[in-house]
Structure 1
Amino acid sequence: MPDDFAAIKARARVLPKGRCFEDFHHGQAFEHHWGRTLTEADSVLFTTLTLSYNPIYFNKESAHGAGHKDLIVHPNLVFLTVFGLSVEDLSESGGPFLGVENLTFHRPVLVGETIRARSHVRSARRSDSRPGAGIVGWHTEGLIDDEVVVDFLRTNFVRTSDAPAVL
């Protein structure tokens, strides 16, 4: 068995993930993969774990009483889901996250709706203070069908192609 393991390990190779700074340019568009149907289990668990006890997130009678057709998905779960959908295309290679600005929720998301994400590069420049890195900003939107339900601006350091693996 150890010889088999050694042979397998010898054939293994590291597959690079993510994009480098040079892979981004102003205006570039990304339609992020798959999307995600937000289930009642997702919503109730998130609400419980974050101690967000607004009954429109976990009590259908309260949601109906507030004028909603179904339970509302907690807005922070909507935001984090859209953010997560963008990671593979935008920031999977690492680099410090610099923040989110102008986070806007355009309408409540109902349990059972499927959200997808798209992003556009809004800025890309080399870092003055961090050699081997650039600063990239994206405008990301979360959509249900063709309706934007959440959007935000996000910024990260992104490693340049000639930089060490860790910033």
Structure 2
Amino acid sequence: YVAGAFDLFHVGHLDFLEKASKLGDYLIVGLHTDPVVNSYKGSNYPIMNLHERVLSVLACKFVNEVVIGAPYCVTEELLDHFKIDVVCHGRTPISLEDGKIDPYAVPKTRAIFELLDSGNDMTTERIVERIISHRLEYERRNQAKEKKEIEAFEALQRQKQTQKAG
């Protein structure tokens, strides 16, 4: 079992899910609701809504089942209901619920918790940073082009005025 936001599904998610799938014969992925993701990732997240994130995860060949609206804290009821043998988390930092409660306390107590390193450092935040960086570069490039176009237009206007005067 793994749980998370899986926002802007990317190769880092894919590598993590592939690695997690190798720890058992059936991979269940819990997806947190939009308000829950917002509470631990911040005001601009999630970028994709829960429905879009579910469809992205379901399309992954390593995933057998999705729990929509999974609890942030992995509970005994969840583990027992789905007969979960292993709970995995990747390298992203674990946010404590209400700043105090470890969401993986129950699986850790049962000694079924594993930290997985997918070997891939791609994150949703890196994708967002890349988009912002490219947008800023695009704006700078277009401002330079606009400046040249304005200068060319003004030069053409001056040339026309000179021709009329002469």
- Larger RCO (CA under 8 A, 6+ residues apart): 1
TM-score by length of structure 1 reads: 0.22
Q: Which has the higher helix share?
A: 2
> Which structure would you say has the larger Rg?
2
TM-score by length of structure 2 reads: 0.22
Q: Which has the higher strand share?
A: 1
